[in-house]
Homo-oligomer: A and B are copies of this chain.
């Protein structure tokens, strides 16, 4: 077995580059790391291009045999612990990572519209990777399989987002919109209504019917941008009973989506 020990190796260089968004975009691929994530990528039938295994990492022995058997079906590369640590994002790597093809699309209006669910979630410049991953996780938890993201939203394939998505990244198709406003205008022409949450509205989330709505979640600091507010068909507020002015973006998304779930289960 050939174990790579040089940083100049082409495979090592190409994987290392995927830490940068520019190369993730160019290669249309990203890195997932650790036993749980790689196992889930295999189970979810994500398009795995390559698996990198550490030959002598402290924790490499903890990779279960059954998983190693599954891993062997893919293109595998063995590297030394020095090289693995060089590629890895984490302090104490588990000795396995995979290069996975993105499940995404750019500006695909057809895909956005021909969607068999009552709710589409659209993100308008969500900045925090932890929030973004948590939103993906929440979107997946209510059975939605796609999300629209504005150009100013953090990269869904950044390692922190991937980690906090807890596997949702494999299941939720990310439709990147060059111009979210234009995409929403198109979506409005096709049965869906644009729904925004905003402080100070009179109608609350419990009074809304969640049928064929695009729920736009705004930036953490500035909310939904003005031009999108203007084309919104429905505006609702999450009632605030205390003195806190607003909620965390991921929490707000969860609250609205689970009101949608409540109404769905009631039917």
A residues touching B (Cβ–Cβ < 8 Å)? 44, 130, 134, 137-145, 164, 166-168, 171, 204-206, 238-248, 250-255, 258-259, 261-262, 264-266
Contact = CB atoms under 8 A, between A and B. Distances in A.
Contacts of A254: 247-248, 251-252, 254-255
Contacts of A242: 139-145, 168, 171
Contact of A244 (B137, B205, B246, B252): B137
B261 A239 contact: yes
B241 A261 contact: yes
A258 B255 CA distance: 7
A219 B130 CA distance: 17
Q: Please list the 7 inter-chain residue pairs (A to B) with the smallest Cβ-Cβ separation, ordered nearest first.
A: A143-B241, A251-B254, A141-B244, A140-B244, A143-B242, A140-B242, A255-B258
Contacts of A239: 261, 265
Nearest to A266: B206
A246 to B, nearest CB: 8
Most B C-beta atoms less than 10 A away, residue of A137, A140, A245, A247: A247
Nearest to A139: B242
Contact of A238 (B130, B205, B258): B258
Contact of A204 (B134, B138, B206, B265): B265
A168 B142 CA distance: 29
Contacts of A244: 137-138, 140-141, 166-168, 171
Given A242-B171, A265-B204, A248 B134 contact: yes
A144 to B, nearest CB: 7
A72 B93 CA distance: 51
Contacts of A204: 265
A246 B167 CA distance: 11
A190 to B, nearest CB: 24
A252 B44 CA distance: 24
A258 B250 CA distance: 14
A251 B144 CA distance: 17
B138 A243 contact: no
B206 A251 contact: no
A25 to B, nearest CB: 26
